[in-house]
Amino acid sequence: MLPQDLMEPRLGLATKTRAPGSPAALPTETSENALNALAALVADDFAACNRVIVEHMQSDVALIPQLAAHLVAAGGKRLRPILTLASARLCGYAGGTRHINLAACVEFIHTATLLHDDVVDESQKRRGLASANAVFGNQASVLVGDFLFSRAFQLMTADGSLKVLKILSDAAATIAEGEVLQLVTQNDLSTDEDRYLEVIQGKTAALFTAACQVGAVVADRPLAEEQALAEFGTAIGMAFQLVDDALDYAADEAALGKTVGDDFREGKITLPVLVAYHAGGPDDRAFWQRTIEESEHTDADLKRALRLMAETGAIGATLRRAESFAARAKAALGVFPDSPTRRRLAEVADYTVRRGR
Amino acid sequence: MLPQDLMEPRLGLATKTRAPGSPAALPTETSENALNALAALVADDFAACNRVIVEHMQSDVALIPQLAAHLVAAGGKRLRPILTLASARLCGYAGGTRHINLAACVEFIHTATLLHDDVVDESQKRRGLASANAVFGNQASVLVGDFLFSRAFQLMTADGSLKVLKILSDAAATIAEGEVLQLVTQNDLSTDEDRYLEVIQGKTAALFTAACQVGAVVADRPLAEEQALAEFGTAIGMAFQLVDDALDYAADEAALGKTVGDDFREGKITLPVLVAYHAGGPDDRAFWQRTIEESEHTDADLKRALRLMAETGAIGATLRRAESFAARAKAALGVFPDSPTRRRLAEVADYTVRRGR
């Protein structure tokens, strides 16, 4: 359940006791527990996957493991590989290590895109630490990203399933298209909601889709289960990115490990911005045009942006969209019989919405 | 045959009639003819390959084909895909289109690395036109590079051969490692020749190796022929990069379409620099340390660098190394019976050394 103020976006968040810019989501104890519980369920596989990740990021060229280790040390949640492992478990896959290698492969694709994203966004922070590009430079980040991407394809090739290769290479192309589309829509307030959803479907949800789908593929399950897991992954990915975009205007900076207002400064078109822009009066629209389209902004502007988000219920509206995707994710699990894995996966769908840090 | 002054590096190029910095290689009419002759031999396949390239760089995200078309318009020679097509022909492959799709795939990997290289090197020119990053920005170049790389893997996956997938995904990882190694050795004059050769083997030769090898694989030829073509590709790739590195200090800028002195300004460790550095006296070494290691240089410094290259025969020594690789490439073709394709391939080995523009 979302807190009441997030369910009622038009009430005006600024009139609540929370100051604009303070965390908009629930206390996250339960949320973190949901992911931890899923990770615990696949603990052995997860440990094995982490070993595969460390092993395959090695190279005689010392800078490669150094830079990769910087990201690993920054401690991502490894949500995507955990989803691959849990999906395989849900489908009854047993006796092999294919899911472990493919989970590592999914994480490598994710890490490669993070490295390139941070270069593209000129990010200074990632997961609360200095970003790889800030420490090692853009050049190394681009090239090590390419290396990890290649490693992912080596792992897939070693797996040997053309079906898996197709799912993951299609996902990789879709991710890149989504990233380019995001670049094209940047600073453009004429971008509509459908276009925004297309961007996040590509840049984020596509990998979640593939991560879950390959779990069913390695278990050689009927198409209905494969499609259900693909749908589950897509919906979780959409929810995840919607929440990410909300948190960029509402997170507790220290807890989230990312800087509030990054999207604002970069002129990224996200749902909170679109909601606030379209709900605003002429003055507010002029404000958004100046800040998002013309990239002119002062520190005071971020405060005003946060206030307008609150007044228009933009964060709440975004989180409600996320919640509806989470509900869709849970519904997709309906083709599977009840089991601890299915219950944990459903909880993780809620987690994607509730993670407030 | 190389011109005499290139064969005798210690004679001192500066005492010749050519001014320092003028083209160091033969008139290139014959050279261009060699590549054209090979392209003519596989003309139908080459035309089909170019169609596959254009078709697969399409995307609903308009910036992707726009940026890709910019590179295509800049008119690369497509040496690598031509080598794939010719290798398949040499191996008697007939009746299918696998070599055409894989040639396109090789070109996509190459194009993706070019896009990322230009970002890493902050290049302003590519093939005589403004580079993609200069026109479309670094962000678009990184992301469209990722897209083309993904497209390459989609093409390979559609081909369906795990052996081909292994050859090309291994090559992609080796290329990335070579690029990172080059970054690490940048500005470091303690880099030795072996390390330099390792860099160019990775960043350049690996893709030539794979490009030629897959030609034998699609034709399902015995391992000896596959290995011979891999060796041919490696040697041609090494020769190609050595000449490229020589031309960076010796090319006719207008004809080559690249800026003379790029490597110098970037502090890249290439064989011409290593030869000149190690052959120089204390003053010269101090000059190289200041310019290459500490990246302090004026316009006059490039002139001095070119003069030192000439005095130490560095360009000639580099081209002789290239020639020995070209000879090795031709020798590798010995396992194949004489044929027009074999003769044209051998001529292209010479072309890699002779291409003076």
Give pLDDT tens digits for B276-332.
999 999 999 999 999 999 888 888 999 999 999 999 999 999 999 999 999 999 999
Please tell me the predicted confidence (pLDDT) of residue A5. 32
Domain ranges (residues) in chain B = 18-354
Question: Cα-Cα-Cα-Cα dihedral of B138, B144, B149, B152, to 10°?
Answer: -150
CATH topology of domain A25-352: Farnesyl Diphosphate Synthase (1.10.600)
* CA neighbor of B166 nearest in space, from B217, B103, B110: B217
Helices (H), chain B: 4-7, 29-41, 43-56, 63-73, 79-90, 98-121, 132-136, 138-159, 162-185, 193-200, 206-218, 223-247, 253-256, 262-266, 271-279, 282-288, 299-312, 314-332, 340-354
Under an 8 A CB cutoff, do A61 and B138 touch? no
Query: Can you give the pTM of this predicted structure?
Result: 0.89
Please tell me the predicted confidence (pLDDT) of residue B1. 33
Whole-angstrom Cα distance, residue B321 to residue B315?
10
Please tell me the predicted confidence (pLDDT) of residue A57. 94
Under an 8 A CB cutoff, do B61 and A180 touch? yes
Positive or negative: CA dihedral A355, A274, A117, A345: positive
Please tell me the predicted confidence (pLDDT) of residue A296. 81
Nearest CA in chain B to A172: B150
Please tell me the predicted confidence (pLDDT) of residue A9. 29
B139 has a chain A CB within 8 A of its CB? yes
Report the alpha-carbon angle B252-B254-B255, nearest 5: 65
B194 has a chain A CB within 8 A of its CB? no
| Test the B interface: residue of A156, A157, A191, A198 with most B CBs within 10 Å | A157
Whole-angstrom Cα distance, residue B231 to residue B208?
9
CATH topology of domain B18-354: Farnesyl Diphosphate Synthase (1.10.600)
Residue A177 corresponds to which tokens in the numbers above?
């298209």
Residue A120 corresponds to which tokens in the numbers above?
């593209």
Find the CB nearest B169 among A146, A154, A162.
A154
pLDDT string in tens for chain A (357-residue length): 333 333 322 222 222 333 333 333 433 445 568 999 999 999 999 999 999 999 999 999 999 999 998 887 776 789 999 999 999 999 999 989 999 999 999 999 999 999 999 888 887 877 778 888 888 999 999 999 999 999 999 999 999 999 999 999 999 999 999 999 999 999 999 999 999 999 999 999 999 999 999 999 999 999 999 999 999 999 999 999 999 999 999 866 555 555 688 899 999 999 999 999 999 999 999 999 999 998 888 889 999 999 999 999 999 999 999 999 999 999 999 999 999 999 999 999 998 898 743
CA distances from B76 to A290, B28, B58, B281, B357 (A): 42, 17, 19, 40, 13
Whole-angstrom Cα distance, residue B277 to residue B266?
16
Query: If you average pLDDT over every residue of chain B, what do you get?
Result: 88
Positive or negative: CA dihedral B115, B117, B122, B126: negative
Under an 8 A CB cutoff, do A119 and B138 touch? yes
ipTM: 0.89
Chain A partners within 8 Å of B154 (Cβ): 166, 169-170, 173
Whole-angstrom Cα distance, residue B88 to residue B216?
6
Please tell me the predicted confidence (pLDDT) of residue A254. 53
Find the CB nearest A184 among B63, B165, B177.
B63
Please tell me the predicted confidence (pLDDT) of residue B261. 87
Find the CB nearest B63 among A61, A153, A180.
A180
Q: Hey, which residues 62-91 in chain A have their CB within 8 Å of chain B?
A: 62-64
Compute and round to an integer the Cα radius of gyration of chain A.
Answer: 20
Under an 8 A CB cutoff, do B183 and A140 touch? yes
Under an 8 A CB cutoff, do A147 and B64 touch? no
DSSP string, B209-274: HHHHHHHHHHTT--HHHHHHHHHHHHHHHHHHHHHHHHHTTT--HHHHTS-TTHHHHHT---HHHH
Please tell me the predicted confidence (pLDDT) of residue A257. 56
Under an 8 A CB cutoff, do A162 and B166 touch? no
Q: What is the 3-state secondary structure (H, E, C) of A188-205?
A: CCCCCHHHHHHHHHHHHH
| Test the A interface: residue of B149, B154, B166, B203 with most A CBs within 10 Å | B149
Map residue A295 onto helix, strand or coil: coil
Percent of chain B, pLDDT > 90?
Answer: 75
B119 has a chain A CB within 8 A of its CB? yes
Please tell me the predicted confidence (pLDDT) of residue B32. 66
| Residues with pLDDT less than 50, chain B | 1-29, 356-357
CB B354 within 8 A of CB B25: yes
| Test the A interface: residue of B138, B156, B164, B165 with most A CBs within 10 Å | B165
B116 has a chain A CB within 8 A of its CB? yes
Under an 8 A CB cutoff, do B184 and A147 touch? no
Whole-angstrom Cα distance, residue B35 to residue B137?
32
Q: Is A49 exposed, middle or buried (0-12, 13-18, 19+ CB in 10 A)?
A: buried
**What number of other Cβ atoms are within 10 A of residue A177's Cβ?**
25
Measure B4 CA to nearest chain A CA, in Å: 39
